[in-house]
Amino acid sequence: MDAKTSELTEAQHQAVDHTNGPLLVLAGPGSGKTTVVTQRIANLIQGGVLPWQILALTFTNKAAQEMRDRVYHLLEKSGCHSKGLTVSTFHAFCARILRDWGDRVIGTTSFTIYDTADQRSAMKSAIKTCDLDSSNWRPASVLAAISTAKNKLIDVDTFEQEATDFYGKSIAKMYRAYDNILRENDAVDFDDLLLHTARLLENDIEARQSLEDRYQYVMIDEYQDTNHTQFVIANKIASNHRNICVVGDPDQSIYAWRGADISNILDFEEHYGEGTVIPLGRNFRSTGKIVEAAAALIKNNVQRKDKKLHTELDDGHKPKVDTVASEHEEAHAIVEEVKRLREDGLPLKEMAVLYRINALSRVLEDAFRDEGVPYVVARGTAFYERKEIKQAISYLRLLVNPKDNVAFIRIINTPTRGIGGTSIARLEQLAYTKGLALLETTTMVTKDQGFTTRAINALKKFSETYRQWLVDGRSEESLTAAGSLADLVERVVRESGLEELYSKTSGEEDIDRLQNLEELVSAASEFEQRYDAEHENEKTSTPLSLLFAFLENVALVSDADAIDPENGAVTLMTLHASKGLEFDFVAIAGLEDGLLPHERSLYEESQMEEERRLCYVGITRARKHLMLTTARRRTQRGISNRTIESRFIREMTGVMTQQKTETEPWDIPDVIPEVTNDITVGSMVRHKRFGVGKVQRVIRRPRGSTVTIHFQGGVKHLVLEYANLELVRSSDYSAGNSPPEF
């Protein structure tokens, strides 16, 4: 919805004016949800509620920022201010609570937030301590099981009590070990931020009272995507005054896989007996034909309350389905459409390309680049996933939290300092017996513990560097001028040796890495400016405390945060990341069974319905133009396969224009055996690893012929098309290769 819409519908008015008591707003796509929420906040403040007493929770930083901005502008006109208003993501809000109260639930307020990679390495060591076969327990799947538990507010103790079978007991054991490691390292993972906050609110009366006294009005956006733990957090804070307003749409619930509990929204009236429910059904975003397509699709969901969708706008353009030969043609067709619309006067920033999985972005990016059409991929997290950035961040994290062993391990030998696996194992042993963190142990190493002189010197030098950084980081003097955080970051990048490591002119890649490190310094600088502006009245004590805030910010970025509405470029992103956004033109790529719906959802109806909702979310992002594409053939993981058109297209036929633009044949055989034709029984061939051998047998099959080859090392059965065999002529033997003996 446009911000300048000043006239509200009756339903919108009702929602805005309903300030006291529980309220559920069922907001369909494009129904002015954000307008209602921001107007409501402005209303409260104008009615005399202190901004400080209002809490609004969103799912991405981007959404929070937008909400803040809009409230600010609404209030500007009336002479009120919004200083002290809390608009935050659930995770960032919980992080702040734990910064205040953390010592009561996790024994510290200066914890580090672990990302997925950190979690994995913590889990790896956890599994090791459990005497379980690590080949049977993959860190990722154990973490997934624990995450599911945490989203249901099941902590370690509860999980242990409830575990009955071998599987459950094994997970419980690893949950305990993992939790111990996190506690030892003063670390929390994403789910912990929610879990520990909920535990705090349940068990600590003082903390709960403090929060419920402060936040007299609570608002939650995208309520259909909250999990049980989040429900408990909001519910505890609002339990006394009961001024809770939640906004959501069951049809747009797309995070059940992450623990989102749709019953939060469905059972709202049960939880809050006196609660009011206001449906916002009229769509002000999309033109008629687009809404028709969305309606045709979503009505196929059985587990759903049927509701009429109607738009206030004209019919507009009919959405179209483009059937193309391959992913390359798909990308081409989308770029061509973008160019056509640009000529019609549509700005690029009003266009988006959506897809089910990130892997699909590659081909699209190539096409946009080749055609010279500006584009941005919404991957805010990508920067922080880079190796060199992770390393720099680890140095910084260790500065703020000396107990962070995961960070320590990642950097103790990067750049190489002559501290290898053996030395690290010894150090871990020493730390274990002394009950200290790894960094704290570095000064205690001696020769009779088995450490080499080289290792001892390197470790001592390492800890001396840290000591120096800490001394300067704690001094208030270095905070006199702006840029103190950036200075600290720059200094760590330089003195850690990372700068030098990537300065060695070894290739293009290293130059990129160096630039990325520079970018990290500017990110710190930008953060500092933003932070100073937002906290102008508060006096920050030291560069280290700024660093704390910066690292927290870094840990909680999301892909959607990277979307910059001001840029003149097409946005490429996953369907999930598109939630809450809108564009004049939307293209959705890869409408194929197995992709959308994704293959992991094909066999369970509830998951299939979530895929359908995901597609529905994508479609309803479009204001004026909608284009869906389906490729007859798609190469995934290096293998090209024929595809089946998505059932979702079938469900929308009649509402859409079908179009086939096949300039290349799609019905070609799956394997082109051309290069392998002259390999027959008796041929001499060379394999990269097995060397030279003689072909014993060839079984021709349409996809993947099997060959039996007698190598020096023994008989091997290989797939002809993938073995990458090189035909060896007898004349080659004289060139120094000794012929195999049989």
Partner DNA sequence: AACTGTAAACTTTTT
Partner DNA sequence: GTTTACAGTT
Residues catalogued as catalytic: 33-34, 221-222, 252, 621
Binding residue (CB under 7 A) for DNA from 107, 347, 374, 420: 420
Angle, CA 59 vertex, CA 56 and CA 60 arms, to 5°: 105
- Nearest distance, CB of residue 104 and DNA, angstroms: 23
Return the SS3 of 716: strand
Q: Hey, is 640 helix, strand or coil?
A: strand
Residues 708 to 737 in contact with DNA, rule: CB under 7 A: none
Minimum CB distance to DNA smaller for 546 or for 718: 718
Beta strand spans in 8-99 (E):
23-27, 54-58, 86-89
Residue 523, both tokens: 């990110």
Among 45, 71, 90, 490, the residue binding DNA under the rule CB under 7 A is 90
Q: Binding mask 661-690 vs DNA (x if CB under 7 A, - otherwise)? A: ---------------------------xx-
- 289, 316 in Cβ contact below 8 A? yes
Residues 6+ apart with CB under 8 A from 321: 591, 627, 628, 629, 630, 649, 652, 656, 657, 658, 659
Other beta carbons less than 10 A from residue 229's beta carbon: 25
**Interaction between residue 421 and DNA (CB under 7 A):** yes
Taking a C-beta distance cutoff of 8 angstroms, is the pair 11, 278 a contact?
yes
Which part of the chain contacts DNA (CB under 7 A), choosing from 168-176, 310-318, 335-343, 570-578? 570-578
Report the residue from 191, 251, 322, 388 that binds DNA according to the rule CB under 7 A: 191
Comparing CA positions, the residue from 661, 670, 683, 620 lying closest to residue 642 is 670
Nearer to DNA, 186 or 610 (CB): 610
Residue 696 near DNA by CB under 7 A? no
CA diameter of the chain: 95
- Give the shortest CB-313-to-DNA separation in angstroms: 29
Using CB under 7 A, which of the segments 338-346, 572-580, 648-656, 657-665 binds DNA? Answer: 572-580
Q: Which CB atom, from 3 or from 602, has the smaller least distance to DNA?
A: 602
Residues 35-74: x where in contact with DNA by CB under 7 A, - otherwise, as a string: ------------------------xx--------------
Which three-class secondary structure state does DSSP give residue 7?
A: coil
- Which one, 31 or 414, has the nearer CB to DNA? 414
| Binding span for DNA by CB under 7 A among 216-224, 413-421, 464-472, 479-487 | 413-421
- 730 phi, psi to nearest 5 deg: -60, -30
Smallest distance, Å, CB 455 to DNA? 6
Nearby residues of 437 by Cβ (< 8 Å), 6 or more positions away: 184, 185, 402, 403, 404, 405, 408, 431
Options 57, 122, 577, 656; binder of DNA; rule CB under 7 A: 577
Q: Scanning residues 136 to 165, which ones bind DNA (CB under 7 A)?
A: 138, 140
Q: Establish if 91 lies at the interface with DNA (CB under 7 A).
A: yes
- What is the C-alpha separation between 688 and 677, in angstroms, rounded? 19
Nearer to DNA, 305 or 689 (CB): 689
Q: Whole-number minimum distance, CB 134 to DNA, in Å? A: 8
**Tokens encoding 529:** 């400016």
Judge whether 248 and 64 are in contact, CB under 8 Å. no
Q: Compare residues 337 and 610 and give the one whose CB is closer to DNA.
A: 610
Cα 66 from Cα 460, distance rounded (Å): 48
190 binds DNA (CB under 7 A): yes
Distance CA 475, CA 130 (A): 43
* Residue reference for tokens 């290096």: 638
By beta-carbon proximity to DNA, the closer residue of 51 and 594 is: 594
Please say whether the beta carbons of 737 and 726 come within 8 A: no
The distance of closest approach from Cβ of residue 280 to DNA in the complex, given in angstroms and rounded to an integer, is: 25
Interface region with DNA, contact rule CB under 7 A, candidates 238-246, 438-446, 542-550, 571-579? 571-579
Q: How far apart are CA 634 and CA 640, in angstroms?
A: 5
Q: Smallest distance, Å, CB 381 to DNA?
A: 6
Q: Which long-range contacts (CB under 8 A, 24 or more apart) does 173-179 make?
A: 173/130, 173/132, 174/123, 174/126, 174/127, 174/130, 174/132, 174/137, 174/142, 174/146, 175/146, 175/149, 177/126, 177/127, 177/129, 177/130, 178/122, 178/123, 178/126, 178/142, 178/143, 178/146
Q: How many residues bind DNA (CB under 7 A)?
A: 48
Rule CB under 7 A: is residue 576 a binding residue for DNA?
yes
Shortest distance (Å) from residue 302 CB to DNA: 20
What type of residue is 703? Answer: R
Question: Site residues for DNA, window 346-405 (CB under 7 A)?
Answer: 356-359, 380-381
- Smallest distance, Å, CB 637 to DNA? 4
How far apart (Å, rounded) are the C-alpha atoms in residues 67 and 303? 32
Q: Which of residues 205-264 bind DNA (CB under 7 A)?
A: 257-258
CB of 552 to DNA, least distance (A): 11
Backbone angles phi, psi at 311, to 5 degrees: -105, 155
* 346 versus 357: smaller Cβ distance to DNA: 357
Contact track, DNA, 521-560, x by CB under 7 A: -----------------------------------xxxxx
Positions in 113-132 near DNA (CB under 7 A): 116
Q: Least distance in Å: CB of 10 to DNA?
A: 34
Which CB atom, from 89 or from 287, has the smaller least distance to DNA? 89
CA 735, chain centre distance (Å): 55
Interacting positions 644-663 with DNA (CB under 7 A): none
Site residues, DNA (CB under 7 A) = 59-60, 89-92, 116, 138, 140, 190-191, 257-258, 356-359, 380-381, 413, 416-423, 452, 455, 556-561, 574, 576-577, 598, 600-601, 607, 636-638, 688-689
